[in-house]
Structure 1
Amino acid sequence: MTNQISISQFCIIIVLTTGIKNLVQIVPLILASAGRDAWISVIVGYLLILPFLFIWTFANKKLVGISIFDWIEMNYSKVFRQIVVLLFVAFLLVEGFTTVMETTSWTNNTYLIHTPKLVVALAVLGSSLYISYGKLKVVAICGGVLIPFVIVLQIFVAIGTIKDSNYLLLLPILIENRWLDVFQGALFVFASMAEIIILLMMLQHQIIKKVTFKHLFFLSFVIFIVTIVPVIDTIAIFGAEEALRIKYPVFLIWRILGIGEYFNHLDFLSIYQWLAGTFIRLALILYLITNAFNMKKPLIIQMLICIFYLFLIIAPISDMQIFSFLQHYYYLSYSIFAVAVTILLFLLIKLKNRMSASDR
């Protein structure tokens, strides 16, 4: 089985990893920052990412069929390559930990209240590890099996809660909050969409065809829809004030959904959505970390990473500390990292082109 994936499979991976992360992690952060105007933050964040999609489209033309890390080593130095790899891996490790922590915390606080976090984390990490040490193709195939149900469920909950929504609660705009609050919320949207570029940087040499701007635009637009719909629904259903106090708004939206008079409390369906995204996201992160270092025996390193995560899970780290870390530090640094890497790669390619032209 080849280790290359198609563009459609890449899109599936992005929607499951980034899209589901936005549903469960980014939405509460946007609401906490911008309140009633959170939906404006989503629009601003989407518009901010578009110029960087243009920049990456140019850069990607020079990297067809070759890893970004290999290109840096071939054209500059091995030391520079290792520095870039370490930066990418550092962010991936944090992403993996926050994903495991959020999932175990949500599980422990909602439907498996008496189950130890360690048991939940072990099950989540074990299932992700099972497919991550193989080929990227395996991760993509698993994503292709999971995503149809995720999409159907998301459409179902969006349509099914219309009757419970009061969209006048989205107004008035920019009365309770300032533009600064809106831009702070937009930062989280921008960072989540910048993940598309970061993942593409690490995967583009394993995609059969070249990813063009229209593919990136389509992906970012899908992530935009996946993000803005639950933000609007949360405010329209619960109100801006109550939305700020909800830790898992998407889960509560599912809880109020019903079919007719007798079928209520369909929130168990959200479990499938959340765990499907977590499963693929963790598998991809484990794969990318070992793939970045070109490890011949990735399973051992991936097992050590999972053990490291398990130790962090039982450490005295509260949910509020994780939320504060994400809100004030992580996504700001991730945005800076994504912008810096995109611009740096653009400049490195331009410099290499000029050097090649002067040598002729």
Structure 2
Amino acid sequence: MTGQKLNIVQAIFLFTLAVGITNHVIIVPLILNTAYRDSWISALIAIPPIVLWTLILFLIMKLTKQQSLYQWFSQHYNPVVAWLILIPLLIFVLFILFITVRDTTAWTKITYLPKTPYPVTVSIYVLSGIIAAMSGLRSLSIAAGILLPAVILLGFFVMSVNFQFKDYSYLLPSFTNGYTPVIHGTFFVLGGLVEFILLLGVQQHLTKKIRFITLIALTLGVTGLILGPILSSIAIFGPYEAADQRYPAFEQWRMVLIGKFISHLDFLSIYQWLAGSLIRISLAFFIFFDLIQLRSDKWKKIGMLATGIIVIILASQYSLSDHSFFNFLQHYYFPFTLSFFYFFPFLLLLLIFMKRGNAKDEAKQPVP
């Protein structure tokens, strides 16, 4: 797994694709199901808190000088504290891995491979992610740089072609159900955006120091990936029909019609979805085994294969219905993700400031 260094542009491409697929696909139906017509307001309200959170993330990266979290906290505290910092991130990455595989394979079976045995599609996705992760972080970033432009162009394509079906009057009136649903919808937006905390897991692999304006552009850009499909879904289908759809972004592709003879272009959404999912699964594998400090490529590969087998077994369970999975995301996963990982960087920053304060006090003490 050589070649793990990447520049800032490559990191932007990588995380836009990896985090964007969650916010564009998995988060949107949750927000629509909660806030309905006011879902687009939820995305806008999330901007100030995510800007504050991004500032904290930037300060952590700056004060640690983009060292690995394990190395910095081991040097300034001790290895026990370092592992206590890493454990929540490791658990988070495992959930990201499972949820991505489960949601992608469920969509695959529902839409275009209904007769393919479920374990087969799960195994293909997981093994493809492992192979890509084994190639190294730089290879993943290059792949993301190739895949992302086409994903963005296809997004603008479906947005513009479907203007003929949109009625933006569906967006108003606002707050007909009060403010509570809007706030709840904002929680889901933030629950998806806090995945950018994984930047702390790869900061040691960046060739240059990342700037605050770059982080803000990245987080706000992905916020746009939430706002766009929400606006389009409500404008095309209306707030209540959009809320009833399991995959609103995919349903927009099924509406595409050019003239009288060009339609059924929803197969292009397969490229968009799988491009993001593959990068996301691969990045999750890479970050997990990079965080646990395995130095041997041999043991990393063995660990990835063992973890992949466990994910295949768990994600292939027929007893986990899509309804149960959706409820798990809505009532447990994203609320917990937000409540913990929104405040987790604040805790890290506090620990960093405490150690810097102690270091300054020690420096002021007179030499005997």
Asked whether the two chains share a fold, i.e. TM above 0.5, the reply is yes
**Secondary structure of the corresponding residue to residue 244 of structure 1:** helix
**Secondary structure of the corresponding residue to residue 260 of structure 2:** coil
Contact 2:23/2:193 (<8 A) preserved? no
* 1:22-60 alpha-carbon deviations (Å, 9 max, x no partner): 121000000011001000011112222111111222222
Q: Which residue is 2:270 aligned to?
A: 271
Residue from 330, 333, 352 that aligns with 2:333: 330
Contact 2:122/2:316 (<8 A) preserved? no
The number of aligned residues is 358
* 1:257-309 alpha-carbon deviations (Å, 9 max, x no partner): 02221110111000000000000000000001100011122111111111111
Q: Which residue is 1:352 aligned to?
A: 355
Counterparts of residues 1-360 of structure 1 (less than 5 Å): 2-175=3-176, 177-196=177-196, 198-295=197-294, 296=296, 297-315=299-317, 316-360=319-363
What is the deviation of 1:146? 0.8
* 1:58-117 alpha-carbon deviations (Å, 9 max, x no partner): 222122241012111111121122222221111111111110010110010111111111
What is the deviation of 1:339? 2.3
Summarize the Cα distance change of 1:65–1:51 in structure 2 as closer, same or farther, 3 Å threshold: closer
What is the deviation of 1:179? 1.3
Whole-angstrom distance in 1 between the partners of 2:157 and 2:168? 18
Q: Which residue is 2:366 aligned to?
A: none
Whole-angstrom distance in 1 between the partners of 2:272 and 2:105? 15
Whole-angstrom distance in 1 between the partners of 2:129 and 2:109? 19
Contact 1:33/1:185 (<8 A) preserved? yes
Whole-angstrom distance in 1 between the partners of 2:352 and 2:88? 19
TM-score of the two chains, using structure 1 as the length reference: 0.97
Supply the AA of the counterpart residue of 2:361. S
* 1:329-352 alpha-carbon deviations (Å, 9 max, x no partner): 111111122223211111111111
What is the deviation of 1:14? 1.2
What is the deviation of 1:134? 2.9
Supply the AA of the counterpart residue of 1:304. A
Whole-angstrom distance in 1 between the partners of 2:154 and 2:204? 33
Cα RMSD after superposing both structures: 1.1
Contact 1:45/1:188 (<8 A) preserved? no
Whole-angstrom distance in 1 between the partners of 2:337 and 2:47? 16
Whole-angstrom distance in 1 between the partners of 2:140 and 2:293? 18
Unaligned segments of structure 1, at least 5 residues: none
* 1:164-202 alpha-carbon deviations (Å, 9 max, x no partner): 100000111001x22111111111111211111x11111
What is the deviation of 1:221? 1.6
**Secondary structure of the corresponding residue to residue 233 of structure 2:** helix
Contact 1:42/1:224 (<8 A) preserved? yes
What is the deviation of 1:313? 2.1
Whole-angstrom distance in 1 between the partners of 2:163 and 2:77? 55
Summarize the Cα distance change of 1:65–1:235 in structure 2 as closer, same or farther, 3 Å threshold: closer
Whole-angstrom distance in 2 between the partners of 1:222 and 1:339? 19
Whole-angstrom distance in 2 between the partners of 1:299 and 1:106? 28
Supply the AA of the counterpart residue of 2:71. D
Whole-angstrom distance in 2 between the partners of 1:182 and 1:65? 36
What fraction of aligned residue pairs are identical, expressed as a percent?
34
**Secondary structure of the corresponding residue to residue 58 of structure 1:** helix
Contact 1:191/1:334 (<8 A) preserved? yes
Whole-angstrom distance in 1 between the partners of 2:218 and 2:19? 10
State which drifts further: 271-280 or 75-84: 75-84
State which drifts further: 276-285 or 47-56: 47-56
State which drifts further: 58-67 or 265-274: 58-67
**Secondary structure of the corresponding residue to residue 161 of structure 1:** helix
Contact 1:46/1:193 (<8 A) preserved? no
Unaligned segments of structure 2, at least 5 residues: 364-368
Supply the AA of the counterpart residue of 1:219. L
Whole-angstrom distance in 2 between the partners of 1:2 and 1:64? 21
**Secondary structure of the corresponding residue to residue 49 of structure 2:** helix
Whole-angstrom distance in 2 between the partners of 1:88 and 1:221? 23
Contact 2:233/2:249 (<8 A) preserved? yes
Supply the AA of the counterpart residue of 1:322. F
What is the deviation of 1:314? 2.6
